Amino acid sequence: MKFLESAPRFLFFTGKGGVGKTSIACATAIQLAEAGRRVLLVSTDPASNVGQVLGIEIGNKITAVPAVPRLIALEIDAEAAAQAYRDRIVGPVRGKLPDAVVKGIEEQLSGACTTEIAAFDEFTALLTDAEITLAYDHVVFDTAPTGHTIRLLQLPVAWSGFLEAGKGDASCLGPLAGLEKQRAQYNAAVQALADGQRTRLILVARAQNSALREAARTHGELAAIGLTRQFLIVNGLLPKEEAAVDPLAAAIYAREQAALAAMPNVLRALPRDDVPLKPFNLVGLDALRQLLAETTPQLETAGWEPVDLRAPSLSDLVDDIAVEGHGLVMLMGKGGVGKTTLAAAVAVELARRGLPVHLTTSDPAAHLAETLHGSMAHLTVSRIDPHAETERYRQEVLKTKGAHLDTQGRALLEEDLRSPCTEEIAVFQAFSRIIREAGEKFVVMDTAPTGHTLLLLDATGAYHREVARMLDAKGAHYTTPMMQLQDSKRTKVLLVTLAETTPVLEAANLQADLRRAGIEPWAWVINNSVAAARPHAPLLRKRAQNELAEVEKVATAHARRYAVVPLLQEEPVGVDRLLKLAAPITEPA
């Protein structure tokens, strides 16, 4: 593997959920340790499953892995670190400031930015403490900090005064108000990250257009701040021999090869390793030792029974959605799970039934026109340009809050406005104009804001509280977009995930986030299910078996109602193929 050649002391693995970075990080640590190196494996992922993957209990303490001499593991408890971090900031002002102000501060500190910064606050010690780092030949990190977090840490120290003066917007500057460690430690950590002799960053992706685009964005963001020593791993590639025995496998193989052929140019220049798809769950040391192996043992398929997944279909959900005749349908989920495609599938199925539908998206890579590849009666389509909306919002804030700032204050405000929250707030404002239509027709919305962003909008008075304040005083009846999202009769939120461990964990975290905002997800949709496709190729049949436990987890532990959408042989492009996604799962012959 290229990424392991002359490996430096620090190895960082990064990539979006579900691409397999935890498994690869664990396999790397095992391989290095079994080659005689002293290795510390560190996870900074809030949904860390390193202990589960290794088959031992780890937690927030340095723990030896008994079966692998020289391997030590640590799961930084990012949520506990974030809570302690929040307590340090909110504790001194509780009881001294009005409750509404304290609530606003708490919500500012409740999002992913706080968790990430608190985790970075914890693991900078591992990068800068000579005693710790010199005790190990390699420190392997599962989940690297984002470019946005590192840029924030590079800015001048002026967070508290900046926020107290009311100059910041609802985003990531709040979490930074609590940084208490010496600035020199952060500078040393950033220097270590940017030093190619000490640090190697490995981007992990799947052979999917969306995953490769995400990897290209991450590459550019990190390279812009000096983290240029990067490698690429394309994980989970279907072996060519599988394609010879199953039409579904042949279609997947062709799709993956096409995605690799269309890979963004910035990724082509990186050293690259391909890791083939394995038939087994990547849990336990035996499985992890095989992950980076050049060959996979032959599958024994004698006596295998076909996978018979009996689950509700997307058609069943659409039946219940259609009853009202109108309403807002929001599809939420992490990137790469297929929200755009499923939003289009729900919209065309409702339109096929003669119901009026407005399908809208803010995903810059969605290309809804290409996905639909045509038009149909009762369906209108729109696309919100997130870049244009964000720029409009950014200029509005700079014109108002930034008008009288000095150079340093304006730099802080501009960095705050680069936060992911800024785009979600700006896009939500644009969505709000469309939401009103849901009283007369169906509005199907792709790429919705997260629960944290919705709470920020509420807590900061960006829309909901301002309207409520004005109209409550007049005794007027009103419904804000936030109130509509919280009304289960008007809004149905569908959480989209895959039948894999990490995407299910991430969807569960999103559900908890939404519930804090008073929004109860209506249903879960498990997309691209191999089990629902009933494959014949040995490797895919084994993968299908592995999915059943995750489907059961969604059905019994997470969702009030759910549906499973099969992986199709053909890309779901065009109205006819989209309608197939909403078709009932046929009984096996």
Highest mean pLDDT among 67-81, 102-116, 159-173: 67-81
**314-581 CATH choice from 3.30.230.10, 3.20.20.70, 3.40.50.300, 3.30.930.10:** 3.40.50.300
**433 to 329, 360, 384, 481: CA distances (angstroms):** 15, 12, 11, 9
CA distance 306 to 196: 49
Residue 162: pLDDT above 60?
no
Q: What is the pLDDT of residue 29?
A: 95
Q: What is the DSSP string of 498-509?
A: ESSHHHHHHHHH
Could you give the count of Cα atoms lying within 13 Å of 104 in the half-sphere of its Cβ? 19
Per-residue pLDDT tens for 358-377?
Answer: 998 876 545 566 667 667 88
The candidate with the shortest Cα–Cα distance to 168, out of 419, 389, 390, 470, is: 419
Confidence at 316, pLDDT banded by 50, 70, 90? very high
The candidate with the shortest Cα–Cα distance to 109, out of 581, 200, 101, 502, is: 101
CA distance 409 to 520: 39
Query: How are beta strands 379-383 and 230-237 bridged, if at all?
Result: unpaired
For domain 7-291, is the CATH number 3.40.50.300?
yes
- List, by residue number, the catalytic residues: 18, 20-23, 45, 502
Residue 252: pLDDT above 90?
yes
Q: What is the pLDDT of residue 318?
A: 96
Q: What is the pLDDT of residue 163?
A: 40
Q: What is the pLDDT of residue 474?
A: 54
520: tokens are 């109860």
Confidence at 462, pLDDT banded by 50, 70, 90? very low
Q: Do 314-581 and 7-291 fall under one CATH topology?
A: yes
| pLDDT more than 70, % of the chain | 77
Q: What is the pLDDT of residue 38?
A: 96
Q: What is the pLDDT of residue 187?
A: 72
219, containing H or E segment: helix 209-223
Q: What is the pLDDT of residue 113?
A: 62
| pLDDT more than 90, % of the chain | 31
Q: What is the DSSP string of 12-38?
A: EEE--TTS-HHHHHHHHHHHHHHTT--
Cα dihedral 250→251→255→260 (10° resolution): 0
Q: What is the mean pLDDT of residues 137-142?
A: 91
Domain ranges of the chain: 7-291, 314-581
Q: What is the pLDDT of residue 199?
A: 87
CA distance 562 to 526: 8
User: What pTM does this model have?
Assistant: 0.76
State whether residue 226 is helix, strand or coil. Answer: coil
